[in-house]
């Protein structure tokens, strides 16, 4: 953790200086600082307004950052800086970053359910900062799986953050700036992951193209996104949706699940540990779907709750449950 903290402090110090000297938001300054690091400390022309002392301080900070940091070390250091940006810039809730603990759990369930091998295409149509994609990418790469990444988002600043963070981590990701509920120019994915933004979609005309739209008023954007992302999966591919648990108990949940089951099997509904969330309303679950296909079938739907990580005996029982489920659903 020492290397991650050292990188965070260097990013934080340089970002604060850029923020204060050039009038950027903290997040904009963070992106700028990472771009400077990628550029080997060469500062862009707009820095001519800075005094020579500030320029020298920035260059000294960048010079102290090792060139051989592991991608996962960089991701963790950048994540700490993004968390500060979220607090400092009061970034809206739908752009809060998916915690590592949840990202690694999703990666684990990809292993259990999808049993991926060789080379796969992993996509997120609500990518935000890209942290969820990069977390899973690094996890699967350590398992000797080659991963091509695609991320889609309609927020230019967030996508710029995802692009710069990925380049800093030396992790290639194909990023698309657009409304993910419009047609997307991307090849089908083997795995879809998404920490779904919760809210209403304002374009009723476009929403009417989806089965999960409402007959009156604005439709739920998270319902539409679940349906849309399935259409960009290969046959038999898996989708792992992180959703607030209350969404799965909504009055309209039955109609949502009915619509999703027309093209997919519901293979798992897994509640995340209570202690990861501030209150009942903020609790989340992972909804696991498999798209229909020649070799796909409805497995015994895994409905379970993950215990708190500190509860050793309960965690052992949970992992044993997962092992048994996997053996019984080959």
Instruction: Give per-residue pLDDT as tens, 205-235.
Output: 999 999 999 988 899 999 999 999 999 999 9
Burial of 305 from C-beta contacts in 10 A (0-12 / 13-18 / 19+): middle
Q: Domain check: are 240 and 308 in the same one?
A: yes
Q: Domain check: are 103 and 237 in the same one?
A: yes
Q: Domain check: are 134 and 259 in the same one?
A: yes
Q: Domain check: are 76 and 113 in the same one?
A: no
pLDDT at 250: 80
**Confidence check: pLDDT of 135 > 90:** yes
Tell which of 88, 116, 150 closes a domain.
88
Question: What's phi and psi for 303, nearest 5 deg?
Answer: -115, 110
Structural domain of 295: 93-328
Computed over every residue of the chain, the mean pLDDT equals: 89
Q: Which of 92-101, 129-138, 271-280, 292-301 has the lowest mean pLDDT?
A: 92-101
Q: What is the mean pLDDT of residues 76-91?
A: 87
Q: Domain check: are 218 and 171 in the same one?
A: yes
Tell which of 39, 62, 88 closes a domain.
88
Instruction: Kindly report the CATH number assigned to the domain that includes residue 13.
Output: 1.10.150.470
Q: Domain check: are 136 and 263 in the same one?
A: yes
Question: Per-residue pLDDT tens for 12-36?
Answer: 999 999 898 888 999 999 999 999 8
Q: Domain check: are 61 and 113 in the same one?
A: no
**Confidence check: pLDDT of 46 > 80:** no
Instruction: Pick the more confident residue, 13 or 94.
Output: 13
Tell which of 55, 88, 121 closes a domain.
88
Helices 131-142 and 100-109, packing angle to 10 deg:
50
Q: Domain check: are 45 and 180 in the same one?
A: no
Q: Domain check: are 184 and 303 in the same one?
A: yes
How many domains does the structure of the chain reveal?
2
Q: What is the mean pLDDT of residues 62-77?
A: 90
pLDDT at 1: 67
Q: Domain check: are 114 and 79 in the same one?
A: no
H-state helical runs in 118-196: 131-142, 156-168
Instruction: Pick the more confident residue, 93 or 310.
Output: 310
Q: Domain check: are 103 and 132 in the same one?
A: yes
**Confidence check: pLDDT of 81 > 80:** yes
| Residues 223, 256 contacting (CB under 8 angstroms) | yes
pLDDT at 41: 66
Instruction: Pick the more confident residue, 95 or 240.
Output: 240
* Residue 274 CA: distances (Å) to CA of 168, 271, 292, 306, 329: 33, 8, 32, 8, 27
Contacts of residue 144, defined as CB under 8 A and 6 or more positions apart, other chains included, come to none
Instruction: Kindly report the CATH number assigned to the domain that includes residue 283.
Output: 3.40.50.150
300 token code pair: 């015994």
3-state SS assignment for residue 11: helix
């Amino acid at each position: 953790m020492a290397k991650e903290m050292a990188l965070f402090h260097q990013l934080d110090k340089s970002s604060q200086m850029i923020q204060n000297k050039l009038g950027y938001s903290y997040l904009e300054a963070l992106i700028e600082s990472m771009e400077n690091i990628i550029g080997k400390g060469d500062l862009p022309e707009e820095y001519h307004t800075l005094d020579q002392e500030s320029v020298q301080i920035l260059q000294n900070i960048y010079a102290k950052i090792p060139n051989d940091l592991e991608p996962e070390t960089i991701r963790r250091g950048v994540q700490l800086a993004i968390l500060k940006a979220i607090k400092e810039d009061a970034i809206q809730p739908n752009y809060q970053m998916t915690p590592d603990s949840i990202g690694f759990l999703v990666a684990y369930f990809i292993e259990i359910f999808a049993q991926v091998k060789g080379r796969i295409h992993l996509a997120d149509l609500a990518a935000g900062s890209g942290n969820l994609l990069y977390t899973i990418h690094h996890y699967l790469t350590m398992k000797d799986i080659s991963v091509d990444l695609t991320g889609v988002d309609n927020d230019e600043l967030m996508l710029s953050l995802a692009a710069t963070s990925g380049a800093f981590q030396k992790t290639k990701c194909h990023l698309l700036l657009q409304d993910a509920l419009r047609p997307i120019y991307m090849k089908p994915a083997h795995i879809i992951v998404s920490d779904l933004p919760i809210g209403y979609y304002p374009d009723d005309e476009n929403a009417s193209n989806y089965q999960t739209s409402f007959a009156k008023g604005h439709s739920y954007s998270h319902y539409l996104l679940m349906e849309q992302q399935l259409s960009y999966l290969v046959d038999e591919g898996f989708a792992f949706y992180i959703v607030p648990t209350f969404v799965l108990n909504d009055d309209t949940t039955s109609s949502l699940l009915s619509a999703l089951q027309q093209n997919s099997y519901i293979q798992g509904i897994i509640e995340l540990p209570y202690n990861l969330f501030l209150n009942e309303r903020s609790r989340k679950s992972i909804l696991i779907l498999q798209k229909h296909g020649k070799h796909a079938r409805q497995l015994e739907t895994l409905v379970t709750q993950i215990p708190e990580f500190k509860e050793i005996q309960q965690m052992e029982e949970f992992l044993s449950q997962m092992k048994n489920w996997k053996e019984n659903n080959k």
